[in-house]
């Protein structure tokens, strides 16, 4: 697939997703010990899924498959946002941390949407 990128690492959505994933890992270290097996694990899996699906889609060499994996990555981004609400509600993070991370997640979502739009244009 010739989409203008040399590697998945060149994709802005992947780059932002990577940064977001690292921020999620850092904040999840603050969760209570009882959450180590529950929310902590879920939020980290969802955060990892963002970049992993962008990379996997890129490697499929099919525009439609790439778009489908990007949609999964977008869903994982929104899953992380939902987990952030849980962390806020349980007082594992502050309102300020929530707001910052929520906005970062929305930037990732917007970048994924832009990449999907780009791919659809390349397909046509």
CATH number of the domain to which 108 belongs: 1.20.1440.60
Q: What is the mean pLDDT of residues 10-15?
A: 97
Query: Which long-range contacts (C-beta less than 8 Å, at least 24 apart) are formed by 65-70?
Result: 66/1, 66/3, 66/119, 67/116, 67/119, 67/120, 67/123, 70/13, 70/112, 70/115, 70/116, 70/119
**Residue 118: per-residue pLDDT:** 94
Does residue 50 surpass a pLDDT of 50? yes
In a domain, 31, yes or no: yes
Task: Say what percent of the chain tops pLDDT 70.
Answer: 94
Domain-located, residue 2: no
Residue 3: band (very low, low, confident or very high) from pLDDT cuts 50, 70, 90:
low
Q: What is the largest CA-CA distance in the chain?
A: 50
Is 100 within the bounds of a domain? yes
Confidence check: pLDDT of 6 > 60 = yes
What total number of domains does the chain contain? 1
Q: What's the predicted TM-score (pTM) here? A: 0.92
Q: Let me know if residue 29 belongs to a domain.
A: yes
Does residue 4 lie within any of the structural domains? no
Give the domain extent around 45.
Answer: 9-123
Cα–Cα distance measured from residue 2 to residue 78, given in angstroms and rounded to the nearest whole number: 29
- Poorest-pLDDT segment among 30-34, 57-61, 97-101: 30-34
């Amino acid at each position: 697939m010739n989409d203008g990128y040399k590697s998945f690492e060149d994709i802005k959505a992947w780059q932002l997703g990577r940064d977001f994933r690292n921020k999620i890992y850092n904040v999840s270290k603050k969760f209570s010990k009882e959450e180590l097996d529950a929310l902590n694990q879920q939020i980290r899996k969802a955060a990892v899924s963002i970049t992993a699906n962008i990379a996997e889609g890129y490697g499929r060499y099919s525009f439609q498959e790439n778009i489908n994996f990007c949609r999964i990555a977008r869903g994982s981004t929104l899953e992380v946002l939902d987990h952030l609400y849980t962390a806020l509600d349980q007082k594992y993070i502050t309102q300020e941390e929530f707001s910052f991370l929520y906005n970062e997640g929305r930037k990732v979502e917007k970048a994924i949407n832009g990449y999907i739009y780009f791919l659809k244009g390349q397909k046509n």
